[in-house]
Structure 1
Amino acid sequence: MLSEKDIFNIKTNDEFESIALRVFKFQFENNAVYRSFCDLLFKHPSDINSIEEIPFLPIQFFKSHEVLSSTQPPQKIFTSSGTTGNVTSKHFVTDLHIYESSFKNGFEYFYGNIDDYAILGLLPSYLERDGSSLIYMVDYLIQKSNHPKSGFYLNNLGELAEAIQSLEALNQKTILVGVSFALLDFVESQSIKLKNTIVMETGGMKGRRKEMIRTELHTILKEGFGIEHIHSEYGMTELLSQAYSKGNGVFESPPWMKVLIRDTEDALTLQKTNKSGGINIIDLANLNSCSFIATQDLGKVHDNGGFEVIGRFDNSDIRGCNLMVL
């Protein structure tokens, strides 16, 4: 039986492949939606010998079905943001502890101990609705930081600027996590230069501003905050893990998450490194839903395993934590 410990103690590619194949067999046997999808492709665990052969469930299934590999009742249902009239994705999470372990271990894998930081959340569009997995994560990080200045800021940008300035004066390591339009609002209304604060954008204009490419957004934010790099978080409702970029536009995944690229003309064929295509994600933290997801994002994987997000498929929604369309 697979355990949380197996997933979050992965150290090598061989360990990842071995556990991913075990997760595939488990989900094939316990997830009716995924089993039906695999059956339509005539794919059975006895036919699968590598992660490249595993079928990836189109992410749209999270809009139309309950994607579950567990008989336990959901502890939480995370929902995607969406414009009026659009069907939103629903991720039925039967074990919140796995989600907490995933984002906590993922954060510390890239940034070190949470309690070394003050965590500031500038996520008004997410705070204004229920069911955001991003809010759940950032709220947890705020609580675990144990810093009195950590917290959410809705539209009180002056108060946020004062908090940042006081933390800067104390040389306190700080992370400002913000949705793109709110970070732009901040740099337009406040004059502040940072030395000890990481600015991390989560993407998304949420209909508040025109979409722009990431390089343009980052150029404005770097100038506004007086810093050399803007960090980014890549996650989505349908995942329980996140990838991070520290400012070069290339994301890195934690050891239990992997990105593969599929051919845009043939969804069952994978691309080689450095070739663009559709992003497929293996998220082993999705043990109780589906770990093998074909997203609507476009990107490419580099030789070292890092990946870029370069846009979205035509006619797909711009939503949530996805990065801006090119």
Structure 2
Amino acid sequence: MQNDYPAIKHLVKEFILNHKNQNDSFSEVAKQLFSFQYQNNQAYRKFCRKRRISPNNVHTFTDIPPVPINAFKEATLACSTAEDAEAIFMTSGTTNPEKKGKNIHQDLEVYDLSMETYFKDCMLPDLDRIKLIILFPSKAEMPNSSLAHYLDLAKKQFGTTESEYVVSKDGFDMERLKQLLFVAEKTNEPVFVLGATFSFIQFLDECSEKGIQFQLPTGSRIMETGGAKGKSRSVDTVELKNKLANLFSIPSYACGNMYGMTELSSQIYNQDFKQYFLKQEQQPSFMKSPHWVKTLIVDPETMLEKPEGEKGIIVHYDLANINSVLAIMTEDVGVKEGEGFHLLGRAEGAEAKGCSLAVEQFLSSNREDLT
């Protein structure tokens, strides 16, 4: 049924671009996408059949069974072959270098549209372009990194010609970063510093040790993207935000956070800068998904949605994830609040056991393909 791919891609693109009646139509688009993935994604189809779920008995998007995120390390979850892919994004393999999750993209048209639309909405609502200083290696150096592709897009679509990378596979050029920040102070040109969390932590330690602080121009901002696991010491997110705001002498609302993962095709952001720009009442910092992603907080054993204020496992329904699976159960713990959620960290205890059970259920449904 791969000949249906252009039609389903067009449907999702229209949904991303059209902001009207989204709540009414999300399930309709999700059901059509699920039908496409059920027919074309063999490993996912076996998982669904084990649960006695098919397009015939899915009535709303919550009926679509989410795949545990570690399943991407155990099976090929794709509607097309790797040979036909424009891109294959792979996880870092921090936990187990022998097993890396793979998200196979037949093309990147919807992925790029998703990134550009919500990045602009949340992080650059006031500007078309700004000088970007990127704390991560380039796409050329890391072609299988979804984050490298994401930051390359940001540079191309929203960066000025003076934008540049200060991290490469050879290391982090902190002296160059300091130089660029001092130039911004002198020229009064706003800058946008963005990249992996562990690089920001390294830079914080360097500047703290040497007693360095910057006075960045009005309109400057930063955005850290997670990814500190196994790379540096752990820092509480609120503490990190406060320290970065102090280091760069920028208001806390100008400190952005992006939540994303290789296995998804969309990103989620805190809403601080957008609230400030729209002159909305500043609320406690929370993450909010774009309208083409539904994020639920669930009990990992029952898969029932948790009431607001109760912690559970985060499940994303991402319409932009066309070529793999739209429903993914993460190993992250969150709490729903209003239209968004708070990210609390990795699953432990009962939540972790529930996630492990979900992986085992996936493996049992695909056992003959994995032996």
Q: TM-score, normalised by structure 2?
A: 0.78
| Counterpart Cα distance in 2 of 1:85 and 1:181 | 19
Q: Secondary structure at 1:164's aligned position in 2?
A: helix
- Check if 1:275 corresponds to 2:310: yes
Q: Which residue of 1 aligns with 2:220?
A: 197
Unaligned regions of 5+ residues in structure 2, if any? 1-6, 273-283, 353-371
- Check if 1:60 corresponds to 2:70: yes
- Correspondence list, 1:87-166, <5 A: 87-110=99-122, 111-112=124-125, 115-123=128-136, 129-154=142-167, 155-166=172-183
Which has the higher mean CA deviation after the structures are superposed, 72-81 or 182-191? Answer: 182-191
- Check if 1:311 corresponds to 2:328: no
Which has the higher mean CA deviation after the structures are superposed, 20-29 or 113-122? Answer: 113-122
- Check if 1:243 corresponds to 2:268: yes
Identity of aligned residues (%): 31
Kept in 2: contact 1:10–1:16 (CA 8 A):
no
Kept in 2: contact 1:114–1:144 (CA 8 A):
no
Shift of 1:26: 1.7
Unaligned regions of 5+ residues in structure 1, if any? 317-326
Counterpart amino acid of 1:98? V
Moved over 6 A (4+): 125-128
- Correspondence list, 1:45-84, <5 A: 45-70=55-80, 73-83=84-94
Q: Which residue of 2 aligns with 1:319?
A: none
* Greater radius of gyration (CA): 2
Closer/same/farther in 2, CA of residues 50 and 149 from structure 1, 3 Å limit: same
- Greater share of residues in helix: 2
Which has the higher mean CA deviation after the structures are superposed, 203-212 or 231-240? Answer: 203-212
Kept in 1: contact 2:86–2:106 (CA 8 A):
yes
Closer/same/farther in 2, CA of residues 32 and 262 from structure 1, 3 Å limit: same
Aligned with 2:300 (options 259, 264, 279) = 264
Kept in 1: contact 2:268–2:288 (CA 8 A):
yes
Q: Secondary structure at 2:29's aligned position in 1?
A: helix
Which has the higher mean CA deviation after the structures are superposed, 167-176 or 27-36? Answer: 167-176
Kept in 2: contact 1:52–1:270 (CA 8 A):
no
| Counterpart Cα distance in 2 of 1:87 and 1:32 | 20
Which has the higher mean CA deviation after the structures are superposed, 75-84 or 127-136? Answer: 127-136
Shift of 1:173: 4.0
Kept in 2: contact 1:90–1:237 (CA 8 A):
yes
| Counterpart Cα distance in 1 of 2:224 and 2:251 | 14
Q: Secondary structure at 1:106's aligned position in 2?
A: helix
Q: Secondary structure at 2:231's aligned position in 1?
A: coil
- Correspondence list, 1:173-212, <5 A: 173-187=190-204, 188-189=206-207, 190-194=212-216, 195-212=218-235
| Counterpart Cα distance in 1 of 2:17 and 2:313 | 28
Kept in 2: contact 1:67–1:91 (CA 8 A):
yes
Shift of 1:125: 11
Q: Secondary structure at 1:14's aligned position in 2?
A: helix
Which has the higher mean CA deviation after the structures are superposed, 136-145 or 161-170? Answer: 161-170
Shift of 1:169: 4.4
Which has the higher mean CA deviation after the structures are superposed, 59-68 or 70-79? Answer: 70-79
Q: Which residue of 2 aligns with 1:9?
A: 17
Deviations 1:21-80 (A, max 9, x none): 221222122211111111111112222211222211111111111111236711111111
Q: Secondary structure at 1:92's aligned position in 2?
A: strand
Shift of 1:227: 2.4
| Counterpart Cα distance in 1 of 2:98 and 2:348 | 16
Shift of 1:284: 0.5
| Counterpart Cα distance in 1 of 2:67 and 2:223 | 29
Deviations 1:178-202 (A, max 9, x none): 2222212323324212232111111
| Counterpart Cα distance in 1 of 2:135 and 2:57 | 47
Closer/same/farther in 2, CA of residues 149 and 125 from structure 1, 3 Å limit: closer
